[in-house]
Every structure is written in C-alpha cells, then in structure tokens.
Structure 1
Amino acid sequence: MADLPREHLKVCPPFTYVVFDVFGPWSVVTRRTRGGQAESKRWAMMFSCLSSRAVHIELIESKDTSSCINALRCFFTVRGPAKELQSDCGTDFIGASKELEMDNTVQGYLSKQGCSWNFRPPHASHMGDSWERMIGVARRILDSMLLQQKSRLTHEVLSMLMVEITVIINARPLLPASTDPHQPFILSPATLPTQKSGVPPPPGDFTDKDVFTKQWRQVQALANQFWARWSREYLPSLQQRQKRTVTRRNLQVGDLFLLRDNWTVCNYWPMAILTATFPGKDGHVRKVEVKTTDQGDTRTFLGPVAEVVLLLPKD
C-alpha cells in the first residue's frame, strides 16, 4: 500500500486541506399554487477535512457557477479559508464539473482566496478512503429516506436536516482517548474544531408521525431516521469483513469496545471494557461480558461478540 497522504499528517487548523463532492438532487416545495405545489431541486456539497475527519455540508439550489461560488464562500466564512481543495474524477463529478463551468471564474475566485483545486486520478475512488466512505453512506441513507417520504419538504426543513446530519456524522468516534471505563470519553471530529464534546439531542421523543406536523419536529424525526440508519451502517464499516477461513485473535479481558445497541440515543457512542470471556467448545470466544459507565453509573452487559466493535486491544 502507498504511504498515508501528507495532507492527513499536516499539523494545521481544521479544514485546511479539504476534499468535497456534490450529491443529490432532492425535490422541495418552493411555493403553493392553485393547482397544487410548485417544486424545485436541491443539491448538497459535502466538505471533509483530511486531518480532523470532520465534515461540513452546504445546500445549493443549482449546479452552476454562482451556486458553487456561494457554497465555497459560505464554507470559507464558517470554517475559514482552505489551502487546498480536492475532488475525485468520477463520472458523476466530471458531469457536474461541466455544469459547474469550472472555468476562469471559479478558478479566479479560488486564487484570490489563496486556495488551489486539484483533481484526483480517475477510477481511483480507493484513494479517497475516509471521505469516500462518509459521502457514500450519507448519500445512500439520504436518497432512500427522502425518496420514501410522503410529506413535502421545504427548503428550510432540508437545510436544517443537513445541519443535523452534519452533527450526527461529526459525532462519530475516531479512537478512544482513555482506557479507563470510569472516565469514558470518545474523541470525535466535532471535538477538534469546537473543543467541545458534542451537541446533545433535543428533548422529547420524535416518531415517524412527526414528519407530518410542525417543521422543527419534522426535522428531528428525519434526523432520528438518519441516525438509526447511520449507526447501523457506519459501525460495520469499522470491522474487517472476510471469509472465516483464517483463525483470528480471540477477544481478551481488558479489550476496549464500542457497543452496538439498537436503543442507543442520538449522538451517543457507549464505550465498554471487556471483563470476562466465555469460550465455546472449539476454544473461540463468541460470548463476552463487558462493563460500561454512563454518568457515573457502572453497568455490566452479557452478549455475543457480534454486538461489540473492537476499538483497542489490551496489548
């Protein structure tokens, strides 16, 4: 394998070296008419920091030069000027770049900002590693969610939904900061730019019925749907999937884990430490006992190895 790209190892402020992609579109209601509702399309630009792994999403109304410059301007205003932008050369983005008319207008704007725009080689999506996975999972979940929605989304609802999705993605764990189960602290991309642990979920229970009520409850209901899909589809990507033809290391007491819990609340990643193992007749561990701490309350769980994700072996 090639060495890790230098942009991943630079000691620099967040969002200095950025990769981005355009995905969508989705239909939103723009105005009501006598004959029904007029609709238009919206796209989204996802910016991903190569050093902190944090993401930033901007909603755009069209894939033209003006919308592109507006999205870049909003991104630079909120996150600060970037030194280098990167994007892939996939078929979809090459088509979008032609519609974006990335000519002297856009390149001139970036030059004034002290920023360069570089394309990665074509047919090399594996070079995108982390940011390709973030965009791929988010795009797949959003497309399936919004295509199934019977209620009509407005621009405000879709814009706020993108903010909630940004919070959810940036709350994912990067690596454990402490092996002490009494002081569990998950280092997330949101911690690096904000120096804070994260944004707590809004109070109240939100169900699928709230999609047809007030706009703020509609946003939270959709955010909960995204969280349910995200936590279920992102966690397996942290585990290596391969055929069971090679003997793997058994889980050992002292290993550090993330719990895969269907009842976990939004933006909460419970970390646990392995306290006991229960090998089968063949000597392989398939049942474990773990201990976790939540606000000073220590609890013990017993379950299969499929419900835990190994973060840090004890050795």
Structure 2
Amino acid sequence: MLTDRFLQALQRFVGRRGVPSTIYTDNATTFHATHVELKEVWQVLTARKTHKYLAQQAITWKFIAPHAPWWGGFWERMVGSVKRCLRKVLGQSQLDEEGLNTILVSIEAALNSRPITQGREESEPLTPAHFLVGDRLTTLPTDPESPVRKDLSKEFQRLQKMVEHFWNRWKKEYLILLKNFHETHQPRPGSGRLQLGDVFLLQEDVGPRHVWRKARIEDLHEGRDGKIRTVTLRTS
C-alpha cells in the first residue's frame, strides 16, 4: 500500500492491456472509514505522484456515488465469483508465490474466455479475450490421457487440476448469475417518483435503525435511461 507499489501495479496493467481512458473505483467516502488499510489506500490514490502519472497517461479516475455500492456491480460480480471459487478450490492448500500466480493467471484466462455473444454455426462466440488479444486464449493440454502430461511434474498436474475444477464451478455459477441478472422487476404499486424535499432515513451499517440520520433530497440526477439514479441529500 505504497504509492510506488501502486504505480508499479498500474504500469504492469498498462503493459498488458494498454492505457485505459477511465478507471472506476469505490466511492471516495469509503476510503475515509476507520479502517487503517482503507486510509492508506486513500493516501496512495491522492498522492501527488499518482496524480502526475495519471495526468501523463491521460487517465481519468472516477468514483462511484456514495452509499451506492451496486454502482460497482459490473466488477464486484466478477470479483465475487473469483473469490468464491478460489476459496472452494484451494481450500487449505498452501501454495508458494509461483503456484498462486499460475492459478490466478489461468483463472484470468478462463474468465476472459467466457462467451459474451451467442455463437453461430459459421462462427464462434465472442469473448473478452477477442477484445484483449484479438483471438481466444489457448492453454496447455489438460487431457489426462495426453502424452504431454506424462512428462509434467506432479506439482504442475495439481495446479492444472485446480484450474479445471475452478473452470467447471465458474461455468455453473456464472450461468446462474446471468439468469438472476436478466430477471425483470416491476415497480411496486404505489411507489411514486422521487421528488425534491422528500425526507428519508439514511441507512447506515454502523448503528441500529433508530439512530439512523434523517436526510432531505436537495437535487435529482437522471441516468441515461431518464430514470432517477442518484440524488443529492442534505443531513444535519
């Protein structure tokens, strides 16, 4: 959690994927929490050296709206999927740095090989890998009957087995996530449109309901679909 370490990680990302135009992250108020680790991350993000690097690379850094963690759902969903499968696949296994990096890179290839379009008979479905490297990602053969595997070490075979286990689990979980994501929810009857001056209780996880603060809507902000997605609140 040092500025130099963070910039090195960002440089590795740029070297692999190219320079991004925009980077999104959790809202700024999250980093002002009482957790020491979050405060250290905030110091890194606001460091002069970080801003200088972002300016030189023409990178825009954007924070999601406060108290709206679902705004980061398009990356949290993938992060959560990786974490759950890693926890179940690795279990109590103790890996060295090389072994862990090998598994993570293989998982990265699996995630970026997921289909994002419906395949046709004359063409294969598009995957994120097509937009990253121009073609689908390939891996070493993992067939137990393959003669190549007879020459591999037991450690490499164990890592490949973990990756295969992860890929099978991820395929099942990702299909369930897609089903839940595409479900349509109709608004409840009687639920009106938000209006200026409405008063609400500001839900906070730090205390019970009876100590939540009251907030009044000061401004409304529409999304690209014309619906109210964020509001400006005034509290005590």
TM over 0.5: yes
Q: Per-residue displacement from partner, 1:56-75 (whole Å, max 9, x unpaired)?
A: xxxxxxx3323211110101
Trace 1:100-249 onto structure 2 (pairs within 5 A): 100=41, 101-102=43-44, 103-146=47-90, 148-150=91-93, 152-178=94-120, 182-183=121-122, 185-200=124-139, 202-205=141-144, 214-240=154-180
Instruction: Identify the residue that residue 9 of structure 1 maps to in structure 2.
Output: none
Instruction: Identify the residue that residue 17 of structure 2 maps to in structure 1.
Output: 79
Residue type at the aligned position of 1:167: A
CA distance change for structure 1 residues 76 and 201 in 2, over 3 Å: closer, same or farther?
Answer: same
The structural deviation recorded for 1:109 is 2.1
Q: Distance in 2 between matches of 1:140 and 1:104?
A: 36
Instruction: Identify the residue that residue 272 of structure 1 maps to in structure 2.
Output: none
Structure 2 stretches of 5 or more lacking a match? 146-152, 184-236
Report the TM-score when normalising by structure 2: 0.62
SS where residue 186 of structure 1 aligns? coil
Aligned residues of 2:129 and 2:137 also touching (Cα < 8 A) = yes
Q: RMSD of the TM alignment (CA)?
A: 2.8
The structural deviation recorded for 1:194 is 1.8
Report the TM-score when normalising by structure 1: 0.48
Trace 1:41-52 onto structure 2 (pairs within 5 A): none
CA distance change for structure 1 residues 93 and 222 in 2, over 3 Å: closer, same or farther?
Answer: farther
Q: Distance in 1 between matches of 2:143 and 2:115?
A: 24
SS where residue 239 of structure 1 aligns? helix
SS where residue 24 of structure 2 aligns? strand
Q: Distance in 2 between matches of 1:157 and 1:229?
A: 20
Q: Distance in 2 between matches of 1:174 and 1:126?
A: 21
The structural deviation recorded for 1:186 is 1.4
Identity %: 30
SS where residue 190 of structure 1 aligns? helix
Residue type at the aligned position of 2:159: V
Aligned residues of 2:25 and 2:63 also touching (Cα < 8 A) = yes
Residue type at the aligned position of 1:171: S
Q: Distance in 2 between matches of 1:219 and 1:92?
A: 36
The structural deviation recorded for 1:175 is 1.3
Aligned residues of 1:173 and 1:187 also touching (Cα < 8 A) = yes
CA distance change for structure 1 residues 232 and 127 in 2, over 3 Å: closer, same or farther?
Answer: same
Instruction: Identify the residue that residue 307 of structure 1 maps to in structure 2.
Output: none
The structural deviation recorded for 1:201 is 5.0
Residue type at the aligned position of 2:111: I
Per chain length, whose mean CA-contact separation is higher, i.e. which structure has more relative contact order (CA < 8 Å, sep 6+)?
1
The total of aligned residue pairs comes to 170
CA distance change for structure 1 residues 98 and 205 in 2, over 3 Å: closer, same or farther?
Answer: farther
Q: Per-residue displacement from partner, 1:281-300 (whole Å, max 9, x unpaired)?
A: xxxxxxxxxxxxxxxxxxxx
Instruction: Identify the residue that residue 64 of structure 1 maps to in structure 2.
Output: 2
The structural deviation recorded for 1:134 is 0.8
Aligned residues of 1:125 and 1:132 also touching (Cα < 8 A) = no
The structural deviation recorded for 1:76 is 0.9
The structural deviation recorded for 1:86 is 0.9
Instruction: Identify the residue that residue 203 of structure 2 maps to in structure 1.
Output: none
Between Structure 1 and Structure 2, which shows a larger proportion of strand residues?
A: 1
Between Structure 1 and Structure 2, which shows a larger proportion of helix residues?
A: 2
SS where residue 159 of structure 1 aligns? helix
Larger Rg: 2
